[in-house]
Amino acid sequence: MRLFSSFRPVLGVLLAGTLTLTQTPSQATNHALPEFTALVAENGPKVVNISTKQSPAKPQGKGKRVPGNPVPELPDDSPLQDFFRHFFGDQGDSGGAPGDDEQSRSLGSGFIVSADGYVLTNAHVVEGADEIVVRTNDRREFVATLVGADTRSDIALLKFDAKDLPTVKIGSAKDLQVGEWVLAIGSPFGFEHSATAGIVSAKGRSLPSENYVPFIQTDVAINPGNSGGPLFNLDGDVIGVNSQIYSRTGGFMGLSFAIPIDVAMDVFEQLKAKGRVSRGWLGVLIQDVTRDLAPAFGLPQARGALVAQIMPDSPAAAAGILPGDVILSYNGKDLPISSALPPLVGTTPVGQAARLELLRKGQPLTVEIKIAELPDADQSTDGSDDSDAAGETDKPNRLGMVVSELRAESRDELGIEQGGVLVAAVKEGPAAQAGLLAGDVVLMLDNQGVDDLAGFNRILESLAPGRAVPVLIQRGDGRMFYALHIPKS
Does residue 391 fall inside a structural domain? no
Residue 351, φ and ψ in degrees, nearest 5: 95, -10
Could you tell me if residue 140 is inside a domain? no
Pair 427, 447 in one domain: yes
Same domain membership, residue 291 and residue 339:
yes
Together in a domain, 201 and 232? yes
Measured in degrees and rounded to the nearest 5, phi and psi for residue 205 equal -75, 140
Residue ranges of the chain whose pLDDT lies below 50 = 5-29, 59-72, 77, 79-102, 378-393
* Residue 91 belongs to some domain of the structure: no
DSSP 2-51: EEE------------S-------TTTT--PPPP--HHHHHHHGGGEEEEE
In a domain, 287, yes or no: yes
Contact of 367 with 356, CB cutoff 8 Å: yes
Active site residue 124: yes
Catalytic option among 106, 187, 201, 227: 227
| Residue 243 among the catalytic residues | no
Let me know the angle formed at the C-alpha of 341 by 354 and 221, rounded to the nearest 5 degrees.
Answer: 140
Distance CA 224, CA 24 (A): 43
- Which of 274, 301, 325 corresponds to the end of one domain? 274
Contact 307, 336 (CB under 8 A): no
pLDDT at 13: 34
Closest-CA residue to 169 (of 263, 273, 46): 46
User: In terms of domains, do 290 and 269 share one?
Assistant: no
* Runs of H (alpha helix) within 240-395: 261-274, 293-296, 315-319, 341-346
296 part of a folded domain: yes
Q: Are residues 269 and 286 in the same domain?
A: no
Please give the pLDDT value at position 477: 80
Which member of 150, 154, 266, 325 is catalytic?
Answer: 154
pLDDT at site 37:
95
* Same domain, yes or no: 408 and 367: no
How many domains does one find in the chain? 3
The answer to whether 74 touches 64, Cβ cutoff 8 Å, is yes
- Given 51, 78, 109, 124, the catalytic residue: 124
| 392 contacts 424 by C-beta, under 8 angstroms | yes
Q: For 69-116, where are the E strands, in sequence order? A: 104-112
CB-CB contact of 402 with 396 (8 Å)? yes
- In the prediction, which pLDDT does 387 show? 33
In the chain, what is the straight-line distance between the N-terminal and C-terminal CA atoms, in Å? 55
pLDDT of residue 292: 87
Q: Are residues 356 and 287 in the same domain?
A: yes
pLDDT of res. 466: 85
DSSP 74: B
251 lies in the same domain as 288: no
CATH number at residue 219: 2.40.10.10
Pair (310, 405) in one structural domain: no
d(CA 117, CA 90): 35
Q: Is residue 475 part of a domain?
A: yes
Instruction: Assess whether 198 and 230 both reside in one domain.
Output: yes
Distance CA 474, CA 88 (A): 53
Does one domain contain both 240 and 307?
Answer: no
> What is the torsional sign of CA 137, 43, 239, 32?
negative
| CATH number of the domain where residue 339 is located | 2.30.42.10
Q: Which domain holds residue 316?
A: 280-373
DSSP 403-432: EEEPPHHHHHHHT--S--EEEEEE-SSHHH
Residue 196 included in any domain = yes
Phi, psi at 156, each rounded to 5°: -130, 150
| The last residue of a domain, from among 231, 258, 274 | 274
Asked if residues 178 and 201 have their Cβ atoms less than 8 Å apart, the reply is: yes
Q: Is 31 a catalytic residue?
A: no
Domain end, chosen from 337, 353, 373, is at: 373
Instruction: Tell whether 55 is covered by a domain.
Output: no
On whether both 238 and 177 belong to a single domain, the answer is yes
